[in-house]
Amino acid sequence: MSKFLNLKKYLDKKNCLKIICGANNEDYDEIKKIVALYSKAGCRFFDINASYEAYNSSLEGLKFSNCLDDNHFICISVGVDDDVHFRKCLIDEKICNKCGLCADNCLQKAISDFKINEKKCIGCGSCMENCPSGAILSYQTGKDFNEFNDLFLKVDCVEFHISSSNIDEIKAKWQNLISSFDGLISICINRAIFSEKSMLELIHYLIKTHPDIMIQADGKSMSGSCDDYNTTLQAVAFGDLLKKTQINCPIFISGGTNSKTKELLNILSVDIDGISIGSYARKIVKDYIERDDFWNNKDVFYAALEIAKKFVYKITQNN
Ligand code: SF4
Ligand code: SF4
């Protein structure tokens, strides 16, 4: 069976889990560790930055855990130019008062000595929101899809982020994408950007022009740092809305997803095909994967693996 069919079969199972390493996360060492850990813990689907370095790191992670096979899937994230998933932040040192609040609020631990490590920054914006001096700026890092042509031939899925209201740009990029990639496309859509009518019109247009899609309903992008119902509620509500429109493709939810997401889906009887989890999944193992002895000290790796396994089980168990 081809790998594409394996992926479609996996999505048919429901209770799927996609671990998000971060669309704009260029910390390749972290990507390798996250993929190694969560594939060993039972996750089969990973979402990574669209770069050869991130792709190779993900393969190394799968290889480490003996999961480099036709049943583990890699998705790369691409998007339109003003999408928040493709921004990074920097500190204006002339304005910074060196209070340190930004570093305290950075889940990626990308800030030290009042500087942001560009590779680690995922553009979540938490530092900007917490800076009392307005010293943090953001910039976009979008790339031309032509840069990924060879990568499109290797990956199992491409995630197309459309948290932008520029429909013409979305359609132009989409046409560019589907002329270069003929596999499964995950459409990651931000509910806050569109009216229900314009969102559904857009989804129908995308499905009509490329039927092999899944949709990732993005509640509050990159906000999964808290483990409570409130953080995950928006994603659950959005997934419910899409399910009720009976769009005929797998529906995942993301954005604020955490260990309460599955529980909330069950309480509210929302029938979803899969949950994509990024910030929270990385946060719970962060202290371990940051250690230099992660690969060599079995106690460290297995302590992180226990956490990952419990989490994967909680998200993927049957109701
Ligand atoms: S929160 Fe703002 S003012 Fe404080 S250290 Fe960070 S950039 Fe500087
Ligand atoms: S808080 Fe978010 S946006 Fe700010 S440096 Fe950290 S990862 Fe980047």
Indicate the domain borders of the chain: 3-81+142-316, 86-140
CA of 133 to the centre of ligand 1 (A): 7
CA-angle at 79, arms to 144 and 200, nearest 5°: 135
pLDDT of residue 304: 98
Report yes or no: 217 and 242 within 8 Å, Cβ to Cβ: yes
CA distance 42 to 23: 22
CB of 135 shorter than 6 A to ligand 2: no
Q: Is 43 in the pocket of ligand 2 (CB under 6 A)?
A: no
State residue 84's pLDDT score. 84
> Cα Rg for the chain, rounded, in angstroms?
19
* Cα 302 to averaged position of ligand 2 atoms, centre (Å): 28
H helical segments located in 181-297:
196-209, 229-244, 261-267, 279-283, 286-289
**Which residues of the chain, if any, have pLDDT below 50?**
none
Q: Which residues make Cβ contacts (< 8 Å) with residue 126, sequence separation at least 6?
A: 105, 106, 107, 225
- Under DSSP, is residue 138 helix (H, G, I), strand (E, B) or coil? strand
Query: Which residue's C-alpha comes closest to atom 6 of ligand 1?
Result: 102
Cα(130) to centroid of ligand 1, in Å? 8
Atom from ligand 2 closest to the CA of residue 102: 1
Fold identical between 3-81+142-316 and 86-140? no
Beta-bridge mates of residue 275: 17, 253
Candidate from 131, 137, 138 with most ligand 1 atoms within 8 A of CB, to mutate: 131
Ligand 2 mean position, distance from CA 128 (Å): 8
Assigned CATH class of 86-140: alpha beta
**Best residue for ligand 2 mutational test, from 25, 49, 111, 129 (most atoms within 8 Å of Cβ):** 111
Query: What residue type is 219 in one-letter code?
Result: G
Pocket of ligand 1 (CB under 6 A): 91, 96-102, 114, 131, 133, 135-136
- Ligand 2: does its nearest atom lie under 6 Å from the Cβ of 127? yes
Alpha-carbon span 158 to 257, nearest angstrom: 20
Ligand 2, residues 85, 86, 89, 117: which to mutate, most atoms within 8 A of Cβ?
89
Asked if residues 236 and 270 have their Cβ atoms less than 8 Å apart, the reply is yes
Distance in angstroms (rounded) separating the CA atoms of residues 277 and 286: 14
Pair 269, 243: CB distance under 8 Å: no
Reduced to 3 states (helix: H, G, I; strand: E, B; else coil), residue 104 is helix
Best CA proximity match to 24, nearest among 48, 55, 58: 48
Ligand 2 nearest atom to the CA of residue 87, by list position: 3
pLDDT for the residue numbered 319:
54
The CATH architecture one would assign to domain 3-81+142-316 is: Alpha-Beta Barrel (3.20)
Distance between Cα 129 and ligand 1 center (Å): 10
pTM: 0.94
User: How far away, in angstroms, is 83 Cα from ligand 2 center?
Assistant: 15
> Counting ligands in written order, which one lies closest to the CA of residue 114?
1
Q: How far is the CA of 225 from the centre of ligand 1 (A)?
A: 20
